[in-house]
């Protein structure tokens, strides 16, 4: 049972074990629920035969039943609720851990709000089903055959009178599973798309306002809401229809028991006592089955949520061994990579970025420069070829060991809604305040930080919303200065800097990069002329590589880039 639960509901080992225990507890609760009916039957028989036992027997029987029921309900409650909440916390942590080990390629193909929904709301759905439905349905699946056999053994006709209508009332639920799941999945998918649209609308507020698109976007959202409402209504209607048909049979079951029972009494096949007993049993079974039907529906609706959770759990993680890298040459050998299958963005790229040297990547926009930086830093895993650091394939190095040795400053700076101090400290978690301030000074941040309300303790808003582009960029450079890793990757760090800031940061950088492996991208061709090695890229391939003077002689693409940069500098608006 444990393995079935684990696979079927994407649970942890502990969660599946607890759910199995809860199922067994539910089964025994169903059994013990029959005891009052049995007691009533014994009492009725004794009244009929005029041999009523002492009060003590009934009191002892009732007290014993209550105690057993209390114990079972406590076990069921504990397994259903306390351990379920623990399981949902474990599932969330496990999913978040999986996500943290996935390459960025996964995130570029999945919406972030969607993933957040899986962690929060999908797991909440599983949590609710675990505590309210799965053990009840599982317990019923064990209890129903047992009680059916007992009833058939006692009296076949009365047994069948209870079992057949009960089965008929239940059968509609699994029969309608396909339609139910399809309808609910459709609604669920639409809901997810709606939440993506809402998020997009919030994130794109600046563009929406700048281009006067508010009304148009609002109408599109209304349309989507209307559509989701219709799909929801349709899905609910099939549920209502199924439940109604099932309820009719459920009610008929009691009438059938009375009819068959009365008939058998008239034919003197059973005593009225049997009828009372079977009627009580039928009522109990009806209640239990009704609860299980609702539980089963909930389990059906879980399907898309579980599929999404399994999808995250079954992704290839970025594995690798912890390794203490000592040398930092980066050697790319025939590297190939595609974001989307069959559309290679990097196609057989080979070059060596040596330790103690600055290697610059240049080429037209979209030729694959940033992608190469992402591959070197293992944010994405390459498809073919090899990238070696310290003669070790980076795919064999754990991301923790690799990231420990790499500082990255990307064009798109990501900041957290924390203080300036904590945002810089991300570069080196155990850095003292003094170290953070020194790094901020090297990155020319001190001036603007000191002007802020609370200096280094100022909160910077979501993703640094309260900072200018240049200030954000400088904070991210300060992080890299603080980390002081032996491999430094810089993607267009001057893009948002004015000439003054760029010059000051350049000076700090020149001190920082000694003995390091530095790989940079810059559209300001002047800033890379002195690089030890310039790799010229064209459509994901290396067109040429060498020093500035050498490339002016041998590389058409490079010459072209230099000329175009000159033209751009002379451009007047
Ligand atoms: N996440 C992604 N998913 C799919 N395609 C992508 C993704 N990121 C980039 N690309 C595509 O890969 C190609 C290379 O992009 P890349 O960002 O590496 O170019 P680049 O040379 O750095 O460009 P730029 O100089 O404009 O920054 C482009 O055609 C781009 O459209």
Least confident of 119-123, 338-342, 540-544: 119-123
Q: What superfamily does domain 2-313 belong to in CATH?
A: ABC transporter type 1, transmembrane domain (1.20.1560.10)
pLDDT over 90 at 330, yes or no: yes
* H or E segment and range at residue 87: helix 83-100
Which of 337, 340, 369 has the most ligand 1 atoms within 8 A of CB, as the residue to mutate?
369
Cβ of 371 less than 6 Å from ligand 1: yes
With a cut of 70, say whether residue 170 has pLDDT above it: yes
Q: Is 539 in the pocket of ligand 1 (CB under 6 A)?
A: no
Which superfamily does CATH assign the domain made up of 406-484 to?
A: P-loop containing nucleotide triphosphate hydrolases (3.40.50.300)
- Which comes out higher in pLDDT, residue 379 or 375? 375
Is ligand 1 within 6 A of the CB of residue 540?
A: no
What does the pLDDT average to over 146-162? 88
What pLDDT score was predicted for residue 175? 81
CA of 368 to the centre of ligand 1 (A): 6
Ligand 1 centroid to 534 CA: how many Å? 20
Average pLDDT over residues 389-407: 90
pLDDT at 308: 82
Give the model's pLDDT for residue 333: 96
Query: Does residue 568 surpass a pLDDT of 70?
Result: no
Residue with CA at minimum distance from ligand 1 atom 5: 339
Least confident segment among 231-245, 322-336, 372-386, 535-549: 231-245
- pLDDT tens, 58-98? 788 888 888 888 887 887 777 667 777 788 888 888 888 88
For residue 199, what are the β-bridge partners? none
Span 326-335, average pLDDT: 94
Domain 320-403+516-573, CATH among 3.40.50.300, 3.40.50.620, 3.40.50.2300, 3.30.70.1060: 3.40.50.300
pLDDT of residue 342: 77
Q: Which atom of ligand 1 is nearest to the CA of 105?
A: 1
The pLDDT of residue 497 is above 80: no
By CB neighbour count within 10 A (0-12 exposed, 13-18 middle, 19+ buried), where does 26 fall? buried
3-state SS record for 162-203: HHHHHHHHHHHHHHCHHHHHHHHHHHHHHHHHHHHHHHHHHH
Residues 422-451 pLDDT 10s:
989 988 888 999 999 999 988 888 888 888
CB distance 468 to 498 below 8 Å: no
**pLDDT confidence of residue 101:** 80
Q: What percent of the chain has pLDDT over 70?
A: 96
Size of the chain in residues: 573
CB of residue 105 inside a 6 A radius of ligand 1: no
Q: Is the pLDDT of residue 251 over 70?
A: yes
The bridge status of strand 330-338 relative to strand 384-389 is antiparallel
Q: Is 461 in the pocket of ligand 1 (CB under 6 A)?
A: no
375 pocket-lining for ligand 1 (C-beta < 6 Å): no
Task: Give the strand order in the sheet containing 392-393.
Answer: 344-353, 330-338, 384-389, 392-393
Average predicted confidence (pLDDT) for the chain: 84
Going from the Cα of 160 to the center of ligand 1, the distance in angstroms, rounded, reads 69
Helix (H) or strand (E) holding 356: none
Within this chain, domains 320-403+516-573 and 406-484 share the same CATH topology: yes
Q: According to the model, what pLDDT value does residue 270 have?
A: 81
Of 37-41, 285-289, 542-546, least confident by mean pLDDT is: 37-41
Q: Does any ligand 1 atom lie closer than 6 A to the CB of residue 50?
A: no
Indicate the domain borders of the chain.
2-313, 320-403+516-573, 406-484
Residue nearest to atom 4 of ligand 1 (CA): 339
Closest residue by CA, ligand 1 atom 19:
366
Ligand 1 pocket, residue 369 CB under 6 Å: yes
493 vs 164, higher pLDDT: 164
Angle of CA points 29, 33, 36, to nearest 5°: 150
Band of the pLDDT at 486, cuts 50, 70, 90?
Answer: very high
| E runs forming strands in 354-502 | 358-363, 384-389, 392-393, 406-409, 487-491
* Per-residue pLDDT reduced to its tens digit, 547-559: 999 999 999 999 9
Ligand 1 centroid–CA 369 distance in Å is 8
What was the pLDDT predicted at 539? 93
Nearest to 515 by CA among 488, 544, 478: 488
Q: Is the pLDDT of residue 11 over 60?
A: yes
CA atoms within 13 A on the CB side of 104: 13
Q: What is the mean pLDDT of residues 334-356?
A: 92
Q: Is the pLDDT of residue 536 over 80?
A: yes
Q: How many angstroms is it from 487 CA to the middle of ligand 1?
A: 22
Region of poorest pLDDT, from 231-240, 321-330, 532-541: 231-240
Indicate if the pLDDT at residue 571 is higher than 60.
no
């Amino acid at each position: 049972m444990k393995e079935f639960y684990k696979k079927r509901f994407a649970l942890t080992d502990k969660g599946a074990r607890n759910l199995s225990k809860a199922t067994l507890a539910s089964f025994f609760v169903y059994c013990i629920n029959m005891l009052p009916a049995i007691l009533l039957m014994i009492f009725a028989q004794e009244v009929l035969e005029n041999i009523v036992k002492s009060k003590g027997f009934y009191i002892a029987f009732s007290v014993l039943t209550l105690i057993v029921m209390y114990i079972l309900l406590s076990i069921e409650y504990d397994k259903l609720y306390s351990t379920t909440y623990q399981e949902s916390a474990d599932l969330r942590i496990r999913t978040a851990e999986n996500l943290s080990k996935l390459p960025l390629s996964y995130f570029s193909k999945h919406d972030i709000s969607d993933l957040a929904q899986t962690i929060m709301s999908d797991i909440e759905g599983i949590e609710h089903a675990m505590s309210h439905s799965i053990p009840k349905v599982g317990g019923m699946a064990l209890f129903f055959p047992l009680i059916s056999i007992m009833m058939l053994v006692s009296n076949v006709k009365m047994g069948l009178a209870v079992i057949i209508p009960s089965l008929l009332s239940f059968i509609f639920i699994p029969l309608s599973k396909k339609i139910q799941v399809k309808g609910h999945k459709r609604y669920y998918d639409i809901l997810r798309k709606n939440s993506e649209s809402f998020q997009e609308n919030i994130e794109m507020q600046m563009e929406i306002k700048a281009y006067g698109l508010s009304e148009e976007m609002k109408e599109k959202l209304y349309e989507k809401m209307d559509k989701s409402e219709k799909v929801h209504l349709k899905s609910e209607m099939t549920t209502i229809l199924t439940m109604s048909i099932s309820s009719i049979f459920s009610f008929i079951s009691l009438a059938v028991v009375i009819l068959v029972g009365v008939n058998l009494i008239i034919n003197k096949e059973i005593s009225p006592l049997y009828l009372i007993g079977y009627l009580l049993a039928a009522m109990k079974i009806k209640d239990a089955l009704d609860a299980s039907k609702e539980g089963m529906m909930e389990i059906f609706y879980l399907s898309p949520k579980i599929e999404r959770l399994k999808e995250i759990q079954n992704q290839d993680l970025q594995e690798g061994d912890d390794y203490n890298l000592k040398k930092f040459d980066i050697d790319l050998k025939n590297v190939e990579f595609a974001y989307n299958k069959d559309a290679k963005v990097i196609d057989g790229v080979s070059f060596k970025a040596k330790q103690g040297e600055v290697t610059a990547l240049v080429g037209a926009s979209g030729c694959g420069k940033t992608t190469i930086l992402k591959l070197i830093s293992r944010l994405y895993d390459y498809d073919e070829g090899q990238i070696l650091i310290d003669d070790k394939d980076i795919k064999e190095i754990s991301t923790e060991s690799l990231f420990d040795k790499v500082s990255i400053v990307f064009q798109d700076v990501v900041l957290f809604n924390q203080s300036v101090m904590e945002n810089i400290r991300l570069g080196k978690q155990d850095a003292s305040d003094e170290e953070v301030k020194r790094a901020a000074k090297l990155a020319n941040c001190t001036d603007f930080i000191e002007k802020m309300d609370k200096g280094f303790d100022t909160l910077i808003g979501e993703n640094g919303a309260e900072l200018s582009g240049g200030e954000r960029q400088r904070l991210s450079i300060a992080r890299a200065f603080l980390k002081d890793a032996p491999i430094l990757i810089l993607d267009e760090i001057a893009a948002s800097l004015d000439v003054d800031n760029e010059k000051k940061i350049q000076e700090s950088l020149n001190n920082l990069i000694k003995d390091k492996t530095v790989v940079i991208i810059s559209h300001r061709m002047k800033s890379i002329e002195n690089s030890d090695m310039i790799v010229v890229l064209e459509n994901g391939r290396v067109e040429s590589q060498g020093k500035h003077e050498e490339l002016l002689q041998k590389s058409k693409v490079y010459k072209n880039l230099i000329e175009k940069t000159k033209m751009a500098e002379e451009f007047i608006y």
